[in-house]
């Protein structure tokens, strides 16, 4: 009988795991070989996570046209959803008519949290604040390359609750995402806080919400390139709906994350951490859109985006050789520069999605790419692909079975 209870699976090498997996899932030889094909190599993959049996590939696309703070960028994006790379490129193309994207970065401060259980939370808070300078000095008295270049704990604040307090360390992580550094510092400081408060430390971990680490981007979208005054007005109305309706706001923000997460994955960063931070940041403001739009005196659309951005260009993000290549393509030299770029991609993505929704409906581009995927799945090669796609779109029948029928007709 099949069971997923496999003792010592993590101790096996990749080949042994694959044998077990082949029997369990009744995989064919071809399917096992496909799992074994890896751009990064199974040895590297096996060092990154547990119980490795292969790697899973996603397309790497290049978004073009980005001019950010006067610098030209080609931006690698890893994503499976059609239209995203094209939309980002198109948004950047329109933005550069008026000078491209301008950005601002608030700094690389993250928050580390230590939860202290105590029956006297206000007394504990008082003692923490009274010893603040000592706590910060103690926190920074550790061996770390981040501290050597000027990072480390810079301040703290305390929040009190029933029978507990939370000490929030404000930590400058420089060019790192910072999770390991923050967690290590929190572990170190927790014992010191226990002595000061006479309480018991429980959780010691970073917060992924980082409102002190914001990347802000602005772009002016020429009204004529956007499609005229009516399209500009339509985008503003769509934006107003996202401001007042939480259901629309969720989808509005998801569209932003299409672009943001695609760059995060390409550069080896933790896209789940950034996504959770962005949605929490939106919720802090009453669940509002992460972008803001205005119309200037010339009638052009002016877009802004403001995102908490915990990204790095050193440490674990460089474990994947493909991520290193993508960072090289991008040409960023610091976490700050990467954050500025990602915010600009998010703004371009959101603008293009709103424009498509208002001007023609977003499904049009999706359906063409979907039809192309079906044509390839049906076995179309070379020029056959576009012929099958055009026929399906003309007929309004986009399915694998119809793609096969059309391909057969073309070949006959």
Query: Catalytic residue positions?
Result: 81, 254, 270, 366
SS3 207: strand
Task: Pick the closest to residue 246 from 288, 185, 189, 205 (CA basis).
Answer: 288
DSSP per residue, 216-242: EEEEEE-HHHHT-HHHHHHHHHHHHHH
End-to-end CA distance of the chain: 49
Determine the Cα–Cα distance for residues 370 and 330; give it in Å rounded to an integer: 28
Give the helix ranges, DSSP H, for 172-228.
Answer: 179-197, 223-226
Instruction: DSSP letter for 317, please.
Output: G
Strand order in the sheet with 164-172: 152-161, 164-172, 109-117, 200-207
Identify the three-state secondary structure at position 4.
Answer: coil
71-78/152-161 β-pairing: unpaired
The strand pairing partners of 161, in sequence order, are 164
**149 three-state secondary structure:** coil
Tokens standing for residue 109: 């401060």
Contact 354, 238 (CB under 8 A): yes
- DSSP letter at 107? -
Cα 211 off chain centre by? 16
| C-alpha–C-alpha distance, residues 196 and 360, integer Å | 63
- Report how far residue 303's alpha carbon sits from residue 294's, in angstroms, rounded to the nearest whole number: 7
Nearest Cα to Cα of residue 103 among 342, 353, 349, 352: 342
The encoded tokens of residue 255 equal 């569209």
Q: What is the largest CA-CA distance in the chain?
A: 86
Structural element, H or E, at residue 58: none
Cβ contacts of 325-328, under 8 Å, gap ≥ 24:
326/60, 326/76, 326/78, 326/266, 326/267, 326/268, 327/267, 327/268
Q: What is the CA radius of gyration of the chain?
A: 25
């Amino acid at each position: 009988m099949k069971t997923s209870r496999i003792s010592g699976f993590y101790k096996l090498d990749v080949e042994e795991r694959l044998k077990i997996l082949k029997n369990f899932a009744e995989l064919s030889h071809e399917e096992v070989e496909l799992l074994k094909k890896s751009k990064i190599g199974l040895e590297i993959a096996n060092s990154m996570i547990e119980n490795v049996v292969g790697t899973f590939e996603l397309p790497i696309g290049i978004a073009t046209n980005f001019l950010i703070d006067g610098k030209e960028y080609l931006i690698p994006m890893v994503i499976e959803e059609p239209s995203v790379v094209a939309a980002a490129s198109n948004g950047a193309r329109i933005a550069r008519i008026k000078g491209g994207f301008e950005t601002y970065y608030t700094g690389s401060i993250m928050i580390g949290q230590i939860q202290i259980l105590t029956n006297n939370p206000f007394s504990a808070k008082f003692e923490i604040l009274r010893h603040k300078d000592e706590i910060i000095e103690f926190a920074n008295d550790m061996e770390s390359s981040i501290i050597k270049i000027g990072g480390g704990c810079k301040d703290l604040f305390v929040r009190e609750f029933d029978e507990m307090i939370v000490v929030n360390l404000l930590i400058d992580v420089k060019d790192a995402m910072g999770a390991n550094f923050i967690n290590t510092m929190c572990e170190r400081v927790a014992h010191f806080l226990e002595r000061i408060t006479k309480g018991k430390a429980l959780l010691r971990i970073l917060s992924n919400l980082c409102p002190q680490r914001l990347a802000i981007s602005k772009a002016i979208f020429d009204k004529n390139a956007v499609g005229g005054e009516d399209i500009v007005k339509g985008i503003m109305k769509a934006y107003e709906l996202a401001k007042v309706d939480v259901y629309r706001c969720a989808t509005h923000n998801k569209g932003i994350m299409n672009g943001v997460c695609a760059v995060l994955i390409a550069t080896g960063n933790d896209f789940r951490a950034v996504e959770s931070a962005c949605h929490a940041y939106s919720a802090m403001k009453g669940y509002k859109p992460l972008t803001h739009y205005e119309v200037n005196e010339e009638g052009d659309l002016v877009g802004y985006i403001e995102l908490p951005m915990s990204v790095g260009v050193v440490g674990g993000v460089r474990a994947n050789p493909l991520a290193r290549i993508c960072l090289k393509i991008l040409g960023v030299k610091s976490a700050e520069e990467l954050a500025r770029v990602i915010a600009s991609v998010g703004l371009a993505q959101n603008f293009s999605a709103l424009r498509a929704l208002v001007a023609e409906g977003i499904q049009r581009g999706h359906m063409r790419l979907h039809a192309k995927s079906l044509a390839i799945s049906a076995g179309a090669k070379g020029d056959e692909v576009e012929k099958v796609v055009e026929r399906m779109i003309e007929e309004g029948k986009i399915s694998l079975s119809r793609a096969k029928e059309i391909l057969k007709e073309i070949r006959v």
